[in-house]
């Protein structure tokens, strides 16, 4: 009974192998909203319960800290889920050639279709695909192969669906079934090789984007340092009043640059995710790393120089 319950739970969790899940997205938004609201309440309490305007809230360093930390914490949940998805999809895609190749070997040795599929299961490294093939074998005793595949393929990656659908012509090829399965296995193997080659070819774009963001962050930090040194005032690094007067207070300049760079970090994470993972919905892992670095370089360091 416990084993059946675990299988049911596993099937519910893996119904859509590439979905981030509504619960994960909701928790991410809830953490960001809670962190931002906590920062606003903290600012009100420290200011003697006086209400602040939206502009004062956005420009408050308390809100910037709370909002940034909540962004990192909220997206960290999505990053964990994304890491799980990428790992599972990679295992499924790499196991497709193994599955069909093992099926071809079983058919060539004289085993029937179901027995050949059963022998292929232990060779699969993906728990998702192992579970789905076991599910397919159980369904074959109740319905035809096409109907069983429709139920089995629900929620699997598109490549896995296409490869599993080739089981229909394989089963209908008679004496040529093993040859057809070998052709499909070779095709799936070449697709995996193409993915690796494509990943290696696109990695330089990741480094270019990271380098560009690093240069932009370092340049912004240098501009703030130079502004403090030139204009002087109470927050001057030299402790002397500058000869020039800034058109915009340095604190506001820092806030503008901080939000501008945060927007660039967000867009860059979407770009990297689209290039390397073929979908922008898997951006959270890149965003967490870049946002944390952004918060340290343009958040903590300038804030310490300006306010402490």
Q: How far apart are CA 292 and CA 63, in angstroms?
A: 16
Q: pLDDT tens across 77-123, in order?
A: 888 888 888 888 888 888 888 888 888 888 888 888 888 888 888 88
> Which whole number is the average pLDDT over 132-155?
85
224: closest CA among 186, 197, 251?
Answer: 251
Q: How far apart are CA 112 and CA 177, in angstroms?
A: 10
Q: How confident is the model at residue 141 (pLDDT cuts 50, 70, 90)?
A: confident
Compute the C-alpha angle 276/89/96, nearest 5°: 115
Average pLDDT, the chain: 78
34 has a pLDDT exceeding 70: yes
- Residue 81 has a pLDDT of 84
Q: How confident is the model at residue 247 (pLDDT cuts 50, 70, 90)?
A: low
Whether 128 and 88 have beta carbons less than 8 Å apart is answered as yes
Contacts of 77 (CB under 8 A, 6+ apart): 24, 27, 28, 31
6: tokens are 């675990």
- Residue 159 has a pLDDT of 86
296 has a pLDDT exceeding 60: yes
Whether 52 and 60 have beta carbons less than 8 Å apart is answered as yes
232 φ, ψ to 5°? 65, -145
- Residue 234 has a pLDDT of 45
């Amino acid at each position: 009974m416990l084993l059946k319950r675990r299988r049911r739970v596993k099937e519910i969790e893996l119904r859509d192998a590439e979905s981030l899940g509504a619960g994960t997205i909701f928790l991410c938004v809830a953490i960001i909203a809670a962190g931002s609201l906590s920062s606003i309440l903290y600012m009100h309490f420290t200011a003697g319960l006086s209400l602040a305007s939206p502009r004062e809230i956005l420009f408050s360093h308390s809100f910037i800290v709370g909002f940034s930390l909540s962004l990192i914490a909220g997206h960290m949940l999505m990053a964990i889920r994304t890491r799980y998805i990428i790992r599972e999809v990679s295992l499924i895609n790499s196991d497709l050639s193994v599955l069909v190749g093992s099926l071809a070997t079983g058919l060539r040795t004289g085993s029937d279709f179901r027995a050949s599929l059963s022998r292929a299961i232990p060779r699969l490294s993906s728990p998702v695909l192992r579970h789905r093939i076991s599910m397919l074998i159980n369904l074959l005793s109740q319905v035809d192969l096409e109907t069983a595949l429709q139920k089995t393929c629900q929620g699997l990656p598109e490549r896995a669906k296409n490869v599993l659908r080739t089981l229909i012509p394989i089963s209908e090829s008679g004496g040529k079934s093993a040859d057809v399965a070998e052709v499909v296995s070779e095709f799936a193997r070449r697709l995996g090789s193409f993915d690796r080659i494509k990943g290696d070819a696109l990695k330089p774009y990741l480094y270019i984007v990271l380098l560009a963001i690093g240069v932009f962050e370092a340049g912004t930090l240098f501009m703030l340092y130079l502004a403090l040194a030139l204009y002087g005032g109470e927050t001057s690094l030299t402790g002397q009043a500058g000869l020039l007067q800034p058109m915009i207070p340095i604190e506001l300049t820092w806030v503008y640059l901080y939000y501008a760079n945060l927007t660039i970090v967000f867009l860059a994470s979407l770009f990297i995710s689209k290039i390397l993972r073929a979908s922008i919905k898997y951006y959270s892992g890149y965003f967490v790393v870049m946002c944390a670095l952004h918060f340290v370089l343009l958040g903590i360091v300038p804030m310490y120089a300006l306010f402490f």
